[in-house]
Amino acid sequence: MLVVLTLAAVVFFLAVSGLSRAHQAQREALGDRWFTRGRSDLNTKRFDAAVTDFRAALLYAPDNYSYQLNLAEALIGQHRTGQASAYLLNLWDREPDNGLVNLELARIAAQQGETQEAVRYYHNAVYAVWPPSEEEMRGDARLELIELLLRNNEKPQAQGELIALAASVGPDPVVQEHLGDLFLRAEDYEHALAAYSVTLKSDRHNPGALAGAGFAAFELGRYPLAQRYLVAAAIVKPNDPEIEDRLKTTQMVLHMDPFRRQVAVSERHQMVVNAFNTAGQRLKSCPLPKIAPAGPASDQASSLNDDWNRLKPEVTEERLRTNPDLAETAMDLVFRIERETSIVCGTPTGPDLALLLISRLHEGS
């Protein structure tokens, strides 16, 4: 009897275990079925249906990590970021190095204006462990981080992220052009020029890369190189006002700089006279404050006007030929006028802008 009862208990236990496993397998199958439907709806951006599907899947597996993560993504699609954040923060506690969880938390923080939190989560996403099939998401996370930094005018930090990104991408011309655009926005003109150069090796008529390289060379003060790129850009992209304006300024800088080595002596003298007269007109159109409390501003205004008027009779081509040092004295005054008036009246245009840029070229020389 004892043996029979033992056997019956074993059979009963096995039957119950089998039924339990079958029930659990059925629950998992139903959960997977709802999850598969949810993924299909999520991929086609049917977010309402996806939320319903994932909630149904979670009825059969409440702690399933993938189900909760996909439900959070569907909620984000519905713009229900509060509920999505709750799921994501719970998932982050379980797996703080999950790349997708960090990326979604970064996006939500960025939307809510929580920049520091967003930067932290973006960094986590960049250095997280991603499955091989999702490795490109790492690059996407860094690009989104760079865009966030640029929007918040955090240019030095953006430059660092861009340099790291540049080290991880190949020579694809499209990627390099985009990289150049980002470096240009971050005001890292050396790296921008390098990236555009890679693009132009593969496509030397690329209008965006030609214009970008011209703008970068312009900002670096490499005006002959800027002119070459901008002329080429104007040919393949005519009637672009930004290219035309930058090219015009570049050409004025090259034609108005009397200190260029290849300029003939007679031409240099004429350039000095013209620059001196242009600076005089700038003083008239942008009068520096003369009646003010005693201090540097009024002293400077008086000095510049007096110096210009005192030097004006001397600055002629004839006097410049007989006095080689006069050209440098006159141009030094021109540069001082352009710098001071730019502070008072803002950045000039036309010839005055060219002279201001020329003054920066020769600062300290």
Give the CATH fold of the 168-256 domain: 1.25.40
Structure tokens at 228: 């070459």
pLDDT the model gives residue 365: 58
Cβ atoms 80, 103 nearer than 8 A: no
* pTM listed for this prediction: 0.82
Amino acid 343 reads: I
Q: Please say whether the beta carbons of 140 and 104 come within 8 A.
A: no
- What pLDDT score was predicted for residue 294? 46
Structural domain boundaries of the chain? 168-256, 265-361
Alpha helices in the chain (DSSP H): 2-43, 47-60, 65-77, 81-94, 99-111, 115-126, 136-151, 155-168, 173-185, 189-202, 207-219, 223-236, 241-256, 265-285, 296-311, 317-322, 324-345, 350-361
What's the gap between Cα 174 and its chain centre? 16
- What are 254-260's contacts with CB under 8 Å, separation 24+? 254/223, 254/224, 254/227, 256/351, 256/354, 256/355, 256/358, 257/358, 257/361, 258/327, 258/331, 259/331, 259/358, 259/362, 259/365
pLDDT at residue 343, rounded to an integer: 92
Distance (Å, rounded) from C-alpha 261 to C-alpha 347?
28
* 279: amino acid identity, one letter: A
Tell me, what's the pLDDT at 2? 79
pLDDT along the chain (365 residues), means of 10: 73 60 64 86 90 89 88 90 92 93 94 94 93 88 96 95 92 95 97 97 95 97 97 95 96 94 90 96 84 48 84 93 92 95 93 96 76
- What distance in Å separates the CA atoms of residue 106 and residue 101, rounded to the nearest whole number? 9
